[in-house]
Amino acid sequence: MENSNSRRNAMKKIIGGAATVAVAGVVASRIAAADLGIGSALKGKINHSVCRWCYDSIPLEDLCKSATSIGLESIELLKVEEFETVKKHGLTCAMVSSTSDDWGIVKGWNKKEHHQGLEKWHKYLIDETAKAGFTNLICFSGNRDKDVNDEQGMLNCAEGLKKIMAYAESKKVVLVMELLNSKIDHKDYMCDHTNWGVELCKMIGSDNFKLLYDIYHMQIMEGDVIRTIKENQKYIAHYHTGGVPGRHEIDETQELYYPSIMKTIADTGFKGFVAQEFIPARKNKLESLKQGVGICDV
Protein backbone atom coordinates (compact mmCIF):
# COMPACT_ATOMS: atom_id res chain seq x y z
CA MET A 1 0.00 0.00 0.00
CA GLU A 2 2.84 2.36 0.85
CA ASN A 3 4.46 1.82 -2.54
CA SER A 4 1.13 2.32 -4.27
CA ASN A 5 0.56 5.60 -2.41
CA SER A 6 4.06 6.77 -3.26
CA ARG A 7 3.49 6.13 -6.94
CA ARG A 8 0.13 7.89 -6.77
CA ASN A 9 1.64 10.94 -5.09
CA ALA A 10 4.46 11.07 -7.60
CA MET A 11 1.98 10.98 -10.46
CA LYS A 12 -0.02 13.82 -8.91
CA LYS A 13 3.10 15.96 -8.85
CA ILE A 14 3.80 15.24 -12.51
CA ILE A 15 0.26 15.98 -13.59
CA GLY A 16 0.22 19.12 -11.49
CA GLY A 17 3.38 20.45 -13.13
CA ALA A 18 4.38 21.77 -16.50
CA ALA A 19 4.38 18.28 -18.01
CA THR A 20 0.58 17.99 -17.88
CA VAL A 21 0.02 18.64 -21.57
CA ALA A 22 2.71 16.21 -22.69
CA VAL A 23 1.47 13.45 -20.40
CA ALA A 24 -2.11 13.97 -21.50
CA GLY A 25 -1.04 13.80 -25.14
CA VAL A 26 0.72 10.47 -24.67
CA VAL A 27 -2.20 9.03 -22.69
CA ALA A 28 -4.66 10.14 -25.39
CA SER A 29 -2.52 8.53 -28.07
CA ARG A 30 -2.62 5.18 -26.29
CA ILE A 31 -6.34 4.80 -25.71
CA ALA A 32 -7.18 1.12 -25.62
CA ALA A 33 -8.49 -0.49 -28.79
CA ALA A 34 -11.66 -1.42 -26.96
CA ASP A 35 -12.39 2.28 -26.38
CA LEU A 36 -11.80 3.27 -30.01
CA GLY A 37 -12.78 0.22 -31.94
CA ILE A 38 -15.50 0.59 -34.54
CA GLY A 39 -13.72 -1.40 -37.25
CA SER A 40 -16.03 -4.42 -37.08
CA ALA A 41 -19.04 -2.16 -37.63
CA LEU A 42 -17.74 -0.38 -40.76
CA LYS A 43 -19.90 -0.92 -43.83
CA GLY A 44 -17.12 -1.41 -46.38
CA LYS A 45 -18.34 1.04 -49.04
CA ILE A 46 -15.63 3.59 -48.23
CA ASN A 47 -11.92 2.79 -47.83
CA HIS A 48 -10.76 4.91 -44.91
CA SER A 49 -7.41 6.64 -44.50
CA VAL A 50 -5.96 9.45 -42.37
CA CYS A 51 -3.32 12.08 -43.08
CA ARG A 52 -0.32 11.71 -40.79
CA TRP A 53 0.43 15.42 -40.40
CA CYS A 54 -2.89 16.13 -38.66
CA TYR A 55 -1.81 13.80 -35.82
CA ASP A 56 1.93 14.49 -35.76
CA SER A 57 1.90 14.93 -31.98
CA ILE A 58 1.11 11.20 -31.69
CA PRO A 59 3.98 8.75 -32.28
CA LEU A 60 3.47 6.89 -35.55
CA GLU A 61 3.51 3.50 -33.81
CA ASP A 62 0.67 4.60 -31.53
CA LEU A 63 -1.27 6.16 -34.40
CA CYS A 64 -0.99 2.88 -36.31
CA LYS A 65 -2.44 0.93 -33.39
CA SER A 66 -5.32 3.36 -32.96
CA ALA A 67 -5.97 3.53 -36.70
CA THR A 68 -6.24 -0.24 -36.87
CA SER A 69 -8.66 -0.38 -33.95
CA ILE A 70 -10.87 2.29 -35.55
CA GLY A 71 -10.96 0.38 -38.83
CA LEU A 72 -8.66 2.51 -40.98
CA GLU A 73 -6.73 0.77 -43.71
CA SER A 74 -4.18 3.51 -44.36
CA ILE A 75 -2.08 6.28 -42.88
CA GLU A 76 -0.94 8.60 -45.64
CA LEU A 77 1.31 11.45 -46.68
CA LEU A 78 4.22 9.48 -45.30
CA LYS A 79 7.90 9.82 -46.09
CA VAL A 80 9.81 6.81 -47.43
CA GLU A 81 11.44 6.12 -44.06
CA GLU A 82 7.98 5.71 -42.46
CA PHE A 83 6.73 3.02 -44.85
CA GLU A 84 7.88 0.03 -42.85
CA THR A 85 6.15 1.18 -39.68
CA VAL A 86 2.68 1.22 -41.27
CA LYS A 87 3.31 -2.02 -43.14
CA LYS A 88 4.29 -3.71 -39.87
CA HIS A 89 0.82 -2.90 -38.57
CA GLY A 90 -0.92 -4.26 -41.67
CA LEU A 91 -1.71 -0.79 -43.01
CA THR A 92 -1.04 0.75 -46.39
CA CYS A 93 -0.11 4.31 -47.37
CA ALA A 94 -2.88 5.41 -49.74
CA MET A 95 -1.00 8.58 -50.77
CA VAL A 96 2.78 8.93 -50.58
CA SER A 97 4.22 12.36 -49.76
CA SER A 98 6.41 14.17 -52.28
CA THR A 99 7.29 17.27 -50.29
CA SER A 100 10.91 17.96 -49.41
CA ASP A 101 13.16 20.89 -48.61
CA ASP A 102 13.40 21.53 -52.37
CA TRP A 103 9.97 20.61 -53.75
CA GLY A 104 6.35 20.91 -52.71
CA ILE A 105 3.15 22.92 -52.97
CA VAL A 106 4.78 26.23 -53.90
CA LYS A 107 7.52 24.87 -56.14
CA GLY A 108 5.95 22.44 -58.59
CA TRP A 109 5.55 21.40 -62.22
CA ASN A 110 4.21 24.67 -63.65
CA LYS A 111 7.68 26.11 -64.27
CA LYS A 112 10.07 24.56 -66.76
CA GLU A 113 13.13 25.38 -64.67
CA HIS A 114 11.83 22.95 -62.03
CA HIS A 115 11.38 20.01 -64.37
CA GLN A 116 14.83 18.44 -64.23
CA GLY A 117 14.93 18.38 -60.43
CA LEU A 118 11.31 17.25 -60.11
CA GLU A 119 11.82 14.48 -62.65
CA LYS A 120 14.76 13.06 -60.69
CA TRP A 121 12.93 13.38 -57.34
CA HIS A 122 9.69 11.84 -58.57
CA LYS A 123 11.41 8.91 -60.27
CA TYR A 124 13.06 8.08 -56.95
CA LEU A 125 9.68 8.29 -55.18
CA ILE A 126 7.99 6.23 -57.90
CA ASP A 127 10.59 3.50 -57.31
CA GLU A 128 10.12 3.58 -53.53
CA THR A 129 6.33 3.66 -53.81
CA ALA A 130 6.33 0.66 -56.13
CA LYS A 131 8.81 -1.28 -53.95
CA ALA A 132 6.57 -0.77 -50.94
CA GLY A 133 3.55 -2.04 -52.86
CA PHE A 134 1.75 1.31 -52.73
CA THR A 135 -0.02 3.01 -55.64
CA ASN A 136 -0.52 6.77 -55.32
CA LEU A 137 2.12 9.52 -55.23
CA ILE A 138 1.02 13.10 -54.66
CA CYS A 139 2.27 15.97 -56.79
CA PHE A 140 1.64 19.71 -57.04
CA SER A 141 1.24 22.36 -59.70
CA GLY A 142 3.23 25.03 -57.90
CA ASN A 143 2.26 28.68 -57.54
CA ARG A 144 1.30 31.15 -60.23
CA ASP A 145 3.18 34.44 -60.49
CA LYS A 146 3.79 37.28 -62.96
CA ASP A 147 5.94 35.02 -65.15
CA VAL A 148 3.47 32.14 -65.55
CA ASN A 149 -0.29 32.42 -66.04
CA ASP A 150 -2.77 29.55 -65.73
CA GLU A 151 -2.66 28.60 -69.41
CA GLN A 152 1.13 28.54 -69.63
CA GLY A 153 1.35 26.81 -66.27
CA MET A 154 -0.90 24.02 -67.50
CA LEU A 155 1.19 23.57 -70.63
CA ASN A 156 4.35 23.46 -68.50
CA CYS A 157 2.85 20.93 -66.09
CA ALA A 158 1.81 18.69 -68.98
CA GLU A 159 5.23 18.92 -70.63
CA GLY A 160 7.08 18.05 -67.43
CA LEU A 161 4.78 15.30 -66.22
CA LYS A 162 4.68 13.60 -69.62
CA LYS A 163 8.43 13.00 -69.24
CA ILE A 164 7.81 10.62 -66.35
CA MET A 165 4.39 9.15 -67.20
CA ALA A 166 5.76 6.13 -69.05
CA TYR A 167 8.01 5.43 -66.08
CA ALA A 168 5.10 5.73 -63.63
CA GLU A 169 2.99 3.47 -65.83
CA SER A 170 5.75 0.84 -65.93
CA LYS A 171 5.86 0.85 -62.13
CA LYS A 172 2.05 0.91 -61.77
CA VAL A 173 2.20 4.17 -59.81
CA VAL A 174 -0.39 6.92 -60.20
CA LEU A 175 0.73 10.56 -59.95
CA VAL A 176 -2.04 12.49 -58.22
CA MET A 177 -2.17 16.29 -58.28
CA GLU A 178 -3.93 17.86 -55.34
CA LEU A 179 -6.59 20.54 -55.76
CA LEU A 180 -5.95 23.21 -53.10
CA ASN A 181 -7.58 26.53 -52.30
CA SER A 182 -5.67 29.71 -53.12
CA LYS A 183 -8.07 31.91 -51.15
CA ILE A 184 -7.10 31.09 -47.56
CA ASP A 185 -4.44 28.41 -47.14
CA HIS A 186 -2.25 28.39 -50.26
CA LYS A 187 -2.15 31.82 -51.84
CA ASP A 188 -1.40 31.76 -55.60
CA TYR A 189 -1.50 27.95 -55.89
CA MET A 190 -2.33 27.21 -59.53
CA CYS A 191 -4.32 23.96 -59.43
CA ASP A 192 -7.09 25.60 -57.41
CA HIS A 193 -10.19 24.70 -59.48
CA THR A 194 -11.46 21.31 -60.59
CA ASN A 195 -11.82 22.40 -64.21
CA TRP A 196 -8.14 23.36 -64.40
CA GLY A 197 -7.12 19.97 -63.01
CA VAL A 198 -9.45 18.07 -65.33
CA GLU A 199 -8.09 19.89 -68.38
CA LEU A 200 -4.57 18.96 -67.30
CA CYS A 201 -5.65 15.31 -66.99
CA LYS A 202 -7.03 15.43 -70.53
CA MET A 203 -3.85 17.05 -71.81
CA ILE A 204 -1.62 14.37 -70.24
CA GLY A 205 -3.96 11.59 -71.35
CA SER A 206 -2.85 8.82 -69.00
CA ASP A 207 -4.80 6.77 -66.46
CA ASN A 208 -1.71 7.13 -64.27
CA PHE A 209 -2.30 10.85 -63.78
CA LYS A 210 -5.35 11.90 -61.78
CA LEU A 211 -6.57 14.38 -59.19
CA LEU A 212 -6.82 14.47 -55.43
CA TYR A 213 -10.17 16.15 -54.80
CA ASP A 214 -9.85 17.85 -51.43
CA ILE A 215 -13.43 18.54 -50.34
CA TYR A 216 -12.41 21.23 -47.85
CA HIS A 217 -10.35 23.15 -50.39
CA MET A 218 -12.86 22.89 -53.21
CA GLN A 219 -15.77 23.95 -51.01
CA ILE A 220 -13.84 27.16 -50.34
CA MET A 221 -12.94 27.75 -54.01
CA GLU A 222 -16.04 26.68 -55.90
CA GLY A 223 -18.62 24.82 -53.79
CA ASP A 224 -21.06 22.65 -55.75
CA VAL A 225 -19.21 19.63 -54.40
CA ILE A 226 -21.66 16.82 -55.16
CA ARG A 227 -22.34 17.78 -58.78
CA THR A 228 -18.63 18.32 -59.39
CA ILE A 229 -17.79 14.86 -58.06
CA LYS A 230 -20.49 13.22 -60.18
CA GLU A 231 -19.34 14.93 -63.37
CA ASN A 232 -15.59 14.44 -62.88
CA GLN A 233 -15.27 11.20 -60.92
CA LYS A 234 -13.24 9.45 -63.64
CA TYR A 235 -10.43 11.98 -63.14
CA ILE A 236 -10.37 11.63 -59.34
CA ALA A 237 -8.11 9.10 -57.64
CA HIS A 238 -8.44 10.20 -54.02
CA TYR A 239 -10.43 12.38 -51.60
CA HIS A 240 -9.59 14.43 -48.50
CA THR A 241 -12.02 15.72 -45.88
CA GLY A 242 -12.05 18.82 -43.69
CA GLY A 243 -14.62 21.01 -41.99
CA VAL A 244 -15.49 24.37 -43.53
CA PRO A 245 -14.77 26.91 -42.17
CA GLY A 246 -11.65 26.28 -40.10
CA ARG A 247 -10.57 22.82 -41.31
CA HIS A 248 -11.63 21.17 -38.09
CA GLU A 249 -14.02 18.31 -37.30
CA ILE A 250 -16.50 17.34 -40.04
CA ASP A 251 -19.53 17.17 -37.73
CA GLU A 252 -22.42 19.59 -37.14
CA THR A 253 -19.98 22.40 -36.28
CA GLN A 254 -19.36 23.11 -39.98
CA GLU A 255 -21.30 23.76 -43.18
CA LEU A 256 -20.89 20.58 -45.26
CA TYR A 257 -23.03 17.47 -44.86
CA TYR A 258 -20.48 14.72 -45.31
CA PRO A 259 -22.84 11.71 -45.33
CA SER A 260 -24.39 12.94 -48.60
CA ILE A 261 -20.96 13.64 -50.10
CA MET A 262 -19.73 10.17 -49.14
CA LYS A 263 -22.86 8.54 -50.53
CA THR A 264 -22.22 10.34 -53.81
CA ILE A 265 -18.63 9.09 -53.86
CA ALA A 266 -19.72 5.52 -53.13
CA ASP A 267 -22.45 5.67 -55.76
CA THR A 268 -19.91 6.57 -58.47
CA GLY A 269 -18.30 3.16 -57.91
CA PHE A 270 -15.15 4.74 -56.49
CA LYS A 271 -12.71 2.10 -55.18
CA GLY A 272 -9.95 4.37 -53.87
CA PHE A 273 -9.51 5.98 -50.45
CA VAL A 274 -11.10 8.82 -48.53
CA ALA A 275 -8.68 10.34 -46.02
CA GLN A 276 -9.53 12.42 -42.97
CA GLU A 277 -7.45 15.61 -43.24
CA PHE A 278 -9.07 17.86 -40.68
CA ILE A 279 -7.14 19.39 -37.79
CA PRO A 280 -8.81 18.21 -34.58
CA ALA A 281 -9.93 21.10 -32.38
CA ARG A 282 -10.78 18.87 -29.45
CA LYS A 283 -8.35 17.68 -26.81
CA ASN A 284 -8.95 14.02 -27.63
CA LYS A 285 -7.77 13.94 -31.24
CA LEU A 286 -8.36 10.23 -31.67
CA GLU A 287 -11.99 10.50 -30.65
CA SER A 288 -12.38 13.19 -33.33
CA LEU A 289 -10.78 10.85 -35.85
CA LYS A 290 -13.10 8.02 -34.84
CA GLN A 291 -16.08 10.35 -35.20
CA GLY A 292 -14.94 11.47 -38.67
CA VAL A 293 -14.61 7.89 -39.88
CA GLY A 294 -18.08 7.13 -38.51
CA ILE A 295 -19.59 10.11 -40.31
CA CYS A 296 -17.99 9.05 -43.59
CA ASP A 297 -18.91 5.40 -43.29
CA VAL A 298 -22.15 5.45 -45.28
Please give the model's pTM, rounded to 2 decimal places.
0.87
Residue range 19-40: mean pLDDT, rounded: 44
pLDDT at 74 over 90: yes
Beta strands in 150-227 (DSSP E): 174-178, 209-214
Residue 216, classified by CB atoms within 10 Å of its CB into exposed (0-12), middle (13-18) or buried (19+), is buried
Residue range 234-255: mean pLDDT, rounded: 98
Residue 21: pLDDT band (50, 70, 90) is very low
Residue 298: pLDDT band (50, 70, 90) is very high
Tens of pLDDT, residues 90-113: 999 999 999 999 999 999 999 999
Residue range 274-281: mean pLDDT, rounded: 98
Instruction: List the helix and strand counts (H, then E) for the chain.
Output: 12, 7
- What the chain holds in terms of domains, given with CATH numbers, is 1-30 (no CATH), 34-296 (3.20.20.150)
90 close to 72: Cβ distance less than 8 angstroms: no
Residue 12: pLDDT band (50, 70, 90) is very low
Residue 247, classified by CB atoms within 10 Å of its CB into exposed (0-12), middle (13-18) or buried (19+), is buried
Residues making up the chain, counted from first to last: 298
Residue range 163-182: mean pLDDT, rounded: 98
pLDDT at 246 over 80: yes
Q: Are strands 236-240 and 209-214 parallel, antiparallel or unpaired?
A: parallel
Tens of pLDDT, residues 175-224: 999 999 999 999 999 999 999 999 999 999 999 999 999 999 999 999 99
User: What pLDDT score does 41 carry?
Assistant: 81
User: What pLDDT score does 7 carry?
Assistant: 42
